[in-house]
Amino acid sequence: MSTAGATTRPRAATACGAVEGRPGPGGTAAFLGIPYAAPPVGPLRFAAPRPPRPWTGLRDAGAYGPTAPKAPYSPTFAALLADPVVPGDDCLNLNVWTPSPDPAAKLPVMVWLHGGALTRGSSAVPVYDGTAFARDGVVLVSANYRLGALGYGLFPDAPANRGLLDQIAALAWVAENIEAFGGDPARVTVFGQSAGAISTGALLAAPPAAGLFAQAALQSGAPEVLPRERVRALVRRMAALLGVPATAAAFAAVPLPRLLAAQEAASRRSGPLAGGPALGLVADPATLPEDPLPAAARSRVPLLLGWTSDEYRLWLAPTGAVRLLDRMGPLAVALARARSGKDRAALRTLRTALPGASPAAYAGQLLTDHRLRDPLRLLAGAARPAPSYVYEFAWPSGIPGLGACHALELGFVFDTLAVPEASWLAGPDAPQELADRMHAAWVRFARTGDPGWPAWDGGGPPMVFGAPRREGEGEQAPTPPARP
């Protein structure tokens, strides 16, 4: 059962019941807020995801569903990163944008996992609107998943990696239902940025996710697990602040506002570059039985992966940490080199690549090489049994000080530069031509498994989107193919 039209509302049948979406530009259709699992409330707050309850009649799918419980960004980051809140318990939901909700269409599918350090973010961020992918012949799915302690806290009486289990449940929903929306369940590409990319890499290594997708794209995040004791330490900090035992049963009885406040207080000494107790994926026999980086490197899944030129600037520039590191001078560089485990040769190479850069730039690049680029290069290594396509996003933001920072490429990948929230990070004059090229590469990868440049050989330069750092460094992005 599927219908679509310029004036009628599109409908599609899922395993749990029929849904009614909304028509979009160019004959596209959007179905928002469809539950893929039961609401994680009461005894299900810290349980593995359960199937959603079927419904009778026609379910309205015209608005984003509830977002996962989360604390807001600090004002500094809220000015740069949109993070809407949709209240409600039924937060394990997803959205589908499609060119044609026709089971015979057999179109490629892309499943988006949002970033946000596994503590923030949602599929309702306006920059993640999937209309441009649908316009270009791809069925785009975006999913919410549990965040923070609810999704990644480690407890003796609850399954580990619940947020990852949510993502696997969303992929299982896609496998069962996406044909009704015009998608081909055998042509699914899962992709994500930052924490979403870490999750995507973990899915490559998670036995329960095997066979649920055929390709993957990782933007500024590599598969990793945290030491179990590091995650337990943060849970114990929360428990001490709450005055309850460090168990899922005790945490489930705490009102969500108190739980989120304790999580924020316990996490203040942690950060993407600073380390410290944190919430994240852990090794686990049921979901991640081994280090996901080498396991993902052995996978036979074609990969598209890369980074931005100045990842660290999103974390350091808005907070004033860049100025602090510059005042520290050589000491900042020495501390960053020690923390990243880099030798003096690595620093000399960096100084050659970035002559005259500031101490903060050298320190930031050393740390982000360690956290992001080095593991992504290992993942893309030439020994993989499937091709890897590596990129670098180099266009600098129009916001002073941000450069080509973490998350800046998102409006380009989704071709949503016209969305007001995209300018919060990119500034007012982001080049649409670059968005055309980058978005087209992701569409081409979804369609063909080849984004339009040679597979990485383990040592060559990446594809560069935007102005390269030096004349002649890297190749230029391909001309986008004609839209269908």
CB atoms within 10 A of CB 72: 12
Between CA 144 and CA 151 the distance in angstroms is 11
142 catalytic? Reply is no
Contact 345, 419 (CB under 8 A): no
For residues 43 and 78, give the distance between their C-alpha atoms in angstroms, rounded to a whole number.
32
Residue 204: which of 298, 117, 111 has the closest Cα? 298
Which three-class secondary structure state does DSSP give residue 207? helix
Cα–Cα dist 248/153, whole Å: 9
Query: Which pLDDT score, from 0 to 100, does residue 478 have?
Result: 40
Are 311 and 344 in contact by the 8 Å Cβ rule? The answer is no
Is the pLDDT reported for residue 94 higher than 50?
Answer: yes
* pLDDT higher than threshold 70 for residue 484: no
**b/e sequence 223-239, b meaning 16+ C-beta within 10 Å:** bebbeeebbbbbbbbbb
pLDDT at 383 (0 to 100): 80
Q: How far is CA 224 from CA 68, 371, 475, in A?
A: 23, 10, 29
> What's the pLDDT at 274?
55
- Say what percent of the chain tops pLDDT 70: 93
The answer to whether residue 152 scores a pLDDT higher than 60 is yes
pLDDT of residue 272: 54
Q: Are 455 and 199 in contact (CB under 8 A)?
A: no
Condensed to tens digits (0 to 9), the pLDDT of residues 34-67 reads 999 999 999 999 999 999 999 999 999 999 999 9
- Predicted local distance difference test score (pLDDT) of residue 188: 98
* Contact criterion met (CB below 8 Å) for 217 and 442: yes
Mean pLDDT of 336-352: 86
Which of 144, 158, 148 minimizes the C-alpha distance to 256?
148
Catalytic residue among 2, 199, 311, 439: 311
Active-site residue (options: 114, 370, 406, 439): 406
Tell me how crowded residue 42 is: count the other CB atoms within 10 A of its CB.
9
Q: What's the mean pLDDT in 398-417?
A: 96
Higher pLDDT, 354 or 229: 229
pLDDT tens digits, one per residue of 292-327: 999 999 999 999 999 999 999 999 998 888 888 889
Tokens of 297: 């490197």
- Stretch 330-346: mean pLDDT: 87
The pLDDT of residue 117 is: 94
- Pairing relationship of beta strands 58-60 and 29-35 according to DSSP bridges: unpaired
Residue in the block written with tokens 């108190």? 258
The question of whether 370 is a catalytic residue gets the answer no
Confidence band for 469, pLDDT divided at 50, 70 and 90: very low
Q: Interior CA angle at 211 toward 208 and 213, to 5°?
A: 105
Q: Find all residues with CB under 8 Å of 472, minimum gap 6, and list them.
A: none
DSSP letter assigned to residue 297: H
Q: What is the mean pLDDT of residues 129-142?
A: 98
Which residue out of 100, 122, 142, 194 is catalytically annotated?
Answer: 194
Asked about 309 being catalytic, the answer comes back as no
The least confident of 154-158, 287-291, 464-468 is: 464-468
pLDDT at position 344 over 90: no
Alpha carbon distance, N-terminus to C-terminus of the chain: 25
Average pLDDT over residues 434-440: 98
- Residues 204 and 296 sit within 8 Å (Cβ to Cβ): yes
Least confident span in 247-256, 278-287, 454-463:
454-463
pTM above 0.85, yes or no: yes
* Mean pLDDT confidence for 421-429: 95
What are the residue ranges of helices labelled H in 267-393? Answer: 292-297, 313-316, 321-328, 330-340, 344-353, 359-368, 374-379
pLDDT tens track for 325-335: 889 998 988 98
What average pLDDT does range 427-440 have in this prediction? Answer: 96
Task: Give the integer Cα–Cα distance in Å for 442 and 304.
Answer: 8
Question: Quick one: pLDDT at residue 336?
Answer: 86
Lowest mean pLDDT among 193-202, 267-276, 410-419: 267-276
